[in-house]
Each structure stands twice: as structure tokens, then as C-alpha cells.
Amino acid sequence: MTSSHSAGPALRVALIGYGKGGAVFHAPLIAATPGLELSAVVTGNAERAAQARRRYPGAEVIGAPEELWRRAADFDLVVVASPNDSHVPLARAALDAGLSVVVDKPLALTAADARGLVADAERRGLVLTAFHNRRWDSDFLTALRLVDEGALGRVHRFESRFDRWRPEAKHTWRDRGERSRGAGLLYDLGSHLVDQAIILFGPVAEVYAELDARREGVRAEDDVFLALTHASGVRSHLWAGALVAQLGPRLRVLGDRAAYTVRGLDGQEERLARGDDPARPGWGEEPAERWGLLGADGGLAPVRSERGDYPAFYAAVRDAVAEGEPVPVEPHEVIHGLEVIEAAAESARTRRAVRLEPAQPR
């Protein structure tokens, strides 16, 4: 992605939340982006506050979001990386304070709430976007290129999964909370799976879902299967599971000329988790042994993976806020993803496929 950033004062960013999302993803990516300054980290957790001070000594640590709203003139952008059920109220408060906002996925827990946020941002002329970072995974970018080039012929099926082997559920809101508050895999990894399918193959016309809680103490789903029928005719089969002792392919795209299969996860999350700097040369490059295979059985060949590029998200956010460039993730795409997630919950409850109304032209 080409940046249009020109030298000027850095945008002052306040990050709300310093759990895994804030500490592993957002803070390092913000800090590595020219033209952005991690000015404040908001957390009421003393241990996390100490961690933030150690890693980002130039950032102020603030105990509660309310102080941000009182001092809104000190900041240009707020990033919401707090628990899922707080995303909408915090994003709305940031917009009310005149601040542009990045919200970690999911943008909201309902499509209606997401539409309300988008309307608020548009009315105020502020930037609002959602952190769907897995649009910049190497495997997804490679699949997108192959589909666009026609290397697979006419695609009829997309299979994508995020498998985990975590037989013991953690004592966290994400593992043991209620889906009504955004817990469980449907809103977590499911948000990424649905988003990638929509970007690859367009709007979804029908949804069938199976959602189960398999592990002891889990109330929201930790075993997810979605079958999507896109308006284009392509079918997407999507899985997310925490009780998968043998992992399946990360993704497989089937066409009438060839297929593309990738095993193993994009390496950017692993590198961020161990503290690597995303500004280092070679970021996002996958070793040859992790490239996917293209072709048909008997004639498979490795395909060089596109470079994964999580830093592109915040570079685009900077340009959207500072220069009016397009946002990296369009809200109307995110709203449609939430419509699919809501339809999946209804499908699992009623045990039937759910039709979606065609998306209205913007």
C-alpha cells in the first residue's frame, strides 16, 4: 500500500485498553507508524499500566476514559481496544468529544448499533473505521491476488478456518462470558472469517450456522461453523474452534481450473507477541516452507506469499485523519459482516438457513 503521508506534526493517539489487543497489536503498530504518536494509554489495571510505562515511556498512562473526553484537545485519534460490549459507548463518547476513532473488531454487537456510529461520525465529519487487520494477512492477500488474476478459474468454494487447541477455557470474559456481551468465537475469530469472505466474494445472501459450547465452563460458543452463500454464487465454509487437536488448512480456495491451499497462520501475530518491531525491514515476509500450494493433485506448485502488512492499516488511518484519504476498512463492509453474524446466531437458534436482504446501494 502506498502512503500519501507528508511530513508534519504527528497525530496524537490515545489507546483505550491494554490487554492482548492493545498491547500486542495496537500499541506496537501505532508506535511504528510515521506520523502517529502513541500519546496515552488508558487502563485501570495497575499491572498493565506498569507494562505500558515500561514499553512506552513517552506515553502518558491514564486511569479512565473520562479524562480523555475532558482533555479532547490534547488528542487527535482514539483507538478502542477494550472488551467488546464497551466498543459502542466508548466510540460514541470519542465522537461526541470531536475525536476520530479506530474500533477493534467487532465495531459493534449489532448492525443497528454500527449504523448509528457510522451516522454519528458522518454527521460530525470524523473518521471511523474498524481494525480488521487480517485483511493484511499474507495468505489472504495471496488468495485475493490469485482470485483477481483468474489463476483458479471460476471459484465455487472458499474454506477458511482458525483452529486452536485450548482444551482448558481461560477465566476471561472472552472465554466464559455471554454472547450477548460479545464473548465467544462468533464475534472474535468469526468476525475475521466473515470479513475475509465478504472481501473476496462479495455480499452474502444466505447464512447457515452451527454454534456450540464444548469446553467446561464456557457459555458462548467455542466451536463455530458457518456456511455462507454469496450473491455471486460462491459458497464459503468457515470454521473457528478452540477444541481442535489436529489443525486443518488455514484456507483453501477451489476453482474449476485449480485450487490454492495454505497451512499455518500468518506470522505477524506471533512476531508482535514476542515484541518484534513491525517497522523492521522484511516485516510480513513468509519463509518458503510456509507458502501455499497452487494447482491440482499431481501438479502442485508453491506460490510465493504476498507480504503480510498489518502496518498498512495504521498508515491508512493516519492518511484518512490527516489528509482525508479513504479509510482502510469501509464501515458499510463491517455492517454487512455484522448482519451475517446476527443471521448466524438466528440460524443456530432456529436450525435453519437465514436469507439476507440484498445490500442497498450507497
Q: Report yes or no on 320 lying in a domain.
A: no
Per-residue confidence (pLDDT) for residue 358, from 0 to 100 = 72
pLDDT-derived band at 362 (thresholds 50, 70, 90) equals very low
The predicted-structure confidence for 189-237, as pLDDT tens digits, reads as follows 999 999 999 999 999 999 999 999 999 999 999 999 999 999 999 999 9
Confidence check: pLDDT of 3 > 80: no
The residue segments making up the domain with residue 60 are: 11-131
Q: Report yes or no on 294 lying in a domain.
A: yes
Q: Report yes or no on 51 lying in a domain.
A: yes
Residues 303, 167 share a domain: yes
Question: Identity (one letter) of the amino acid at 93?
Answer: A
The predicted-structure confidence for 131-185, as pLDDT tens digits, reads as follows 999 999 999 999 999 999 999 999 999 999 999 999 999 988 888 889 888 889 9
Per-residue confidence (pLDDT) for residue 361, from 0 to 100 = 45
Residues 155, 102 share a domain: no
Residues 146, 71 share a domain: no
CA distances from 78 to 26, 46, 103, 180, 323 (A): 11, 21, 8, 25, 17
Residues 174, 163 share a domain: yes
The predicted-structure confidence for 23-39, as pLDDT tens digits, reads as follows 999 999 999 999 999 99
Count of all residues that appear for the chain in the document: 362
Nine-digit cell string for 69: 473526553
Confidence check: pLDDT of 1 > 80: no
Q: Report yes or no on 324 lying in a domain.
A: no
Residues 216, 120 share a domain: no
Q: Report yes or no on 152 lying in a domain.
A: yes
Q: What are phi and psi of 344, to 5 degrees?
A: -65, -45
Residue 172: CATH number of its domain: 3.30.360.10
The predicted-structure confidence for 202-214, as pLDDT tens digits, reads as follows 999 999 999 999 9
Say how many domains are in the chain: 2
The predicted-structure confidence for 265-296, as pLDDT tens digits, reads as follows 999 999 999 999 999 999 999 999 999 999 99
Residues 71, 96 share a domain: yes
Single residue among 131, 166, 182 that ends a domain in this structure: 131
Single residue among 81, 108, 131 that ends a domain in this structure: 131
Q: Report yes or no on 138 lying in a domain.
A: yes
Q: Report yes or no on 334 lying in a domain.
A: no
Residues 260, 165 share a domain: yes
The predicted-structure confidence for 37-69, as pLDDT tens digits, reads as follows 999 999 999 999 999 999 999 999 999 999 999
Task: Check: pTM over 0.75? Answer yes or no.
Answer: yes
Q: Report yes or no on 300 lying in a domain.
A: yes
pLDDT-derived band at 5 (thresholds 50, 70, 90) equals low
Single residue among 97, 131, 165 that ends a domain in this structure: 131
Residues 351, 218 share a domain: yes
Residues 122, 255 share a domain: no
Contact 37, 13 (CB under 8 A): yes
Q: Average pLDDT of 126-130? A: 98
CB within 8 Å of 126: residues ≥ 6 apart: 95, 98, 99, 100, 101
Residues 124, 68 share a domain: yes
Residue 30: CATH number of its domain: 3.40.50.720
Residues 141, 122 share a domain: no
Name the residue among 15, 50, 47, 17 with its Cα closest to residue 33: 15
What CA–CA distance (Å, rounded) separates 238 from 297? 23
Residues 233, 256 share a domain: yes
